[in-house]
Amino acid sequence: MKETDRATAEGILFTDQYQLTMAQLYYRMGLHERMAQFDYFFRSYPNYGSHQAGYCVNAGLEWLLDWMAEARFRERDIEYLRSQTARTGRPIFAPDFLDWLRESGSFAALTLRAIPEGRVVHPNVPLVVVQGPLAVAQLLETSLLNHLNYQTLIATKASRIHESGRGRLLLEFGLRRAQGKGANAGARAALIGGADFTSNVGLSHALGFPPKGTHAHSMVQVFMALGEGELGAFRAYAEVYPDDCLLLVDTIDTLNSGLPNAIRVFEELRRKGHEPVGIRLDSGDLAYLSIQAAKMLNEAGFPDVAIVLSNQLDELVIWQIITQIEKEAPRYGVDPDHLINRLVYGVGTRLITSQGASALDGVYKLVAVQERGEWVPAIKVSETPEKTLNPGHKHIWRLYDRRGKATADLLSLDDEDPRQMERVLLHHPTLHGVYRVLAQEEIAEIEPLLVEVWREGRVVADLPSIEEMRAWRQADVERLDPGVRRLVNPHIYHVSLTERLWNLKQELIRQLRR
């Protein structure tokens, strides 16, 4: 795509056509400046086929706000809309509406409250609450969903991989097989969710991180084609990067060529006063090969160099590798804990595309409209009860029990504060008569989750740094019940409604059915 087209395709027209036709309809009906509220939430955790997440890691907000701050209708966007024709050949968009878009088609009139990035989040909980003129709030939908759905998906996957790797160093390597330029948002989300570094140079630069990486098979092939072989390639690498020498050992034969050559070069390096960094395994049985590599490196006097694993890794593959190492390493005289502690994971495609669950099902739903100064809750009833909206203005609370573990997220009406309640009733979101009651003495803390982040066209909160988001994520994951953290078949975290919100929802459903 050429640069001029990019500005068009990624600016305020990064949206679906129906947002514009609906906006014009609201304009025509005099409803465009009617105040409305939309909630952004997802309906279910990513399901990877054989396994499913038990929590998500919230991500994407800052880049959405960056986009909102810069998005506006340029003259050429207006002219393009003016040129669009209906079936009859008449223009779709009328001049007065286009004038209004040019004047008022920015996001300055909206207010956003949101759960901060890095926080652990759950289905059906509003992660962003948008209030503002109906037509403008509607115009934000597509881009908001695009920005938030993908980053939350990837931060979630990264957190799972980080957990399965027991917190050992995790590198994001997915740029080459990512879904186009989404790669950059994906790498950022991976860094929030659990990756320590990424190989993506430009994105690292933009975020202030050092990028990571060493060499590919092609470098070894070049030296082979020129008659200098794998050993020549390794020596060249050690000469140029004596203090960052990490060698890919599987181009020819891992155990019979790559490792012996790497050890020889490591010994040469050490004689010159440099300590090698490690080796990388990118094919074959990574559990078996890492045990054999550890054994050879230990015997050669390199018990501490890293063993980097790559090649189609994800949380289940890493879990299986570790499980196999724990069982098999002792019979080769290798201490499994010592080996597991020197492993580094390079994770590419399956992280950056969230393989198996390539999208988060986040939605942006109208929940209230103002009518004569009063907010009227809006509802959409679905034949699937779980898809029926939680209407109106809401607060979001997280309740922690006496163990310090999060026990539920609670949606309340705007004027409710469970901190002031003697006993808190937590109603199941869809099942009649299913609830539990917690006395305040059973509750260690009730935490409000939404923060105002955008007002009058600019960011009004101190947005957290990536490091702060990671600290939130780490703390939130540790405050989950171990069953909820489980990689496969996790326990269900409770998302509940207060009694009054439950009653309002039922009343609206009854009205609608009448």
DSSP bridge partners of 446: 399
Of 67 and 397, CB closest to a copy of itself: 67
* 38/302 with CB nearer a copy of itself: 38
Nearer to a copy of itself, 185 or 424 (CB): 185
Total of residues contacting a copy of itself (CB under 8 A): 127
46, 156 in Cβ contact below 8 A? Answer: yes
- Would you count residue 138 as binding a copy of itself (CB under 8 A)? yes
Could you tell me which residues come within 8 angstroms of residue 512 by beta carbon, excluding any fewer than 6 positions away?
379, 381
CA distance 68 to 140: 8
Check residue 365 for interaction with a copy of itself (CB under 8 A). yes
Using CB under 8 A, which residues numbered 36 to 75 contact a copy of itself? Answer: 36, 38, 49, 63, 66-67, 70
Q: Where are the alpha helices (DSSP H) in 343-419?
A: 349-352
- Binding a copy of itself (rule: CB under 8 A), the pick from 108, 241, 468, 477 is 241
Residue 336 is encoded by which pair of tokens?
Answer: 């499994």
Cβ 394 vs Cβ 409: under 8 Å: no
Tokens describing residue 266: 């490591």
369-428 binders of a copy of itself (CB under 8 A): 369, 371, 376-384
Write the single-letter amino acid at 260: P
Residue number with CB closer to a copy of itself (187 or 480): 187
Residue 474 has what DSSP assignment? H
Neighbouring residues of 285: CB distance < 8 A, sequence distance ≥ 6: none
CB of 418 to a copy of itself, least distance (A): 27
Residues between 14 and 33 with contacts to a copy of itself, criterion CB under 8 A: 14-22, 24-26, 28-29, 31
Q: Which of residues 475-504 bind a copy of itself (CB under 8 A)?
A: none
- 172-231: which residues touch a copy of itself (CB under 8 A)? 173, 175-186, 188, 199-206, 210-219, 221-222, 224-227
Tokens of 136: 């403008």
- If the CB atoms of residues 80 and 435 are measured against a copy of itself, the closer one turns out to be 80
Stretch that binds a copy of itself, among 138-146, 156-164, 334-342, 467-475 (CB under 8 A): 138-146
Please state, in angstroms and rounded to a whole number, the distance separating the CA atoms of residues 337 and 311. 22
Q: Which residues contact 203 (CB under 8 A, 6 or more apart)?
A: 183, 184, 187, 188
CB of 422 to a copy of itself, least distance (A): 34
Among 292, 311, 324, 355, binds a copy of itself (CB under 8 A): 355
Out of 53, 110, 134, 413, which residue is the one contacting a copy of itself (CB under 8 A)? 134
Closest separation in Å from C-beta 494 to a copy of itself: 26
Cα distances (Å, whole numbers) of residue 47 to 53, 158, 358: 6, 14, 9
Cβ 424 to a copy of itself shortest distance, Å = 29
CB of 389 to a copy of itself, least distance (A): 9
- Nearer of residues 336 and 362 to a copy of itself, judged by Cβ: 362
Stretch that binds a copy of itself, among 9-17, 265-273, 458-466, 470-478 (CB under 8 A): 9-17
Length of the chain: 514
Pick between residue 187 and residue 406 the one whose CB is nearest to a copy of itself. 187
Say if strands 128-133 and 35-42 run parallel, antiparallel, or are unpaired.
antiparallel
In whole angstroms, the minimum distance from the beta carbon of 497 to a copy of itself comes to 20
439 belongs to the binding site for a copy of itself (CB under 8 A): no
Q: Which of 116, 362, 429, 490 binds a copy of itself (CB under 8 A)?
A: 362
Cα distance between residue 96 and residue 135, in whole Å: 14
Q: Could you tell me the smallest distance in angstroms from the CB atom of residue 29 to a copy of itself?
A: 5
- Nearest distance in Å: CB 271, a copy of itself: 17
- Measured distance CA(64)–CA(226) in Å, rounded: 50
Among 55, 100, 234, 237, binds a copy of itself (CB under 8 A): 237
* Closer of 20 and 125 to a copy of itself (Cβ): 20
Enumerate residues 6+ apart whose C-beta is below 8 A from 90.
Answer: none
353 binds a copy of itself (CB under 8 A): yes
How far CA 2 is from CA of 6, 130, 180, 222, 277, in Å, comes to: 6, 33, 15, 34, 41
Q: Please, which residue, 226 or 434, has the CB nearer to a copy of itself? A: 226
**Interatomic CA distance for residues 207 and 51, integer angstroms:** 32
CA pair distance 104, 452, nearest whole angstrom: 22
User: What is the footprint of a copy of itself within residues 267-306 (CB under 8 A)?
Assistant: 277, 283-284
First to last CA, the chain: 52
Q: Which is nearer to a copy of itself, 443 or 504 (CB)?
A: 504
Handedness of CA 242, 246, 252, 256 (dihedral sign): positive
Distance (Å) of CA 153 to CA 49, 204, 252, 454, 476: 15, 20, 37, 23, 17
Q: Which of 227, 220, 306, 309 is nearest to 266 (CA)?
A: 306
Site map 141..170 versus a copy of itself, x via CB under 8 A:
xx--xxx-xxx-------------------
Q: Smaller CB distance to a copy of itself: residue 418 or 464?
A: 464
Residues 80-109 that bind a copy of itself (CB under 8 A): 80, 84-88, 90, 92
Angle, helices 134-164/315-328, rounded to nearest 10 degrees = 10
Q: Does 2 bind a copy of itself (CB under 8 A)?
A: yes
443-462: contacts with a copy of itself (CB under 8 A):
none
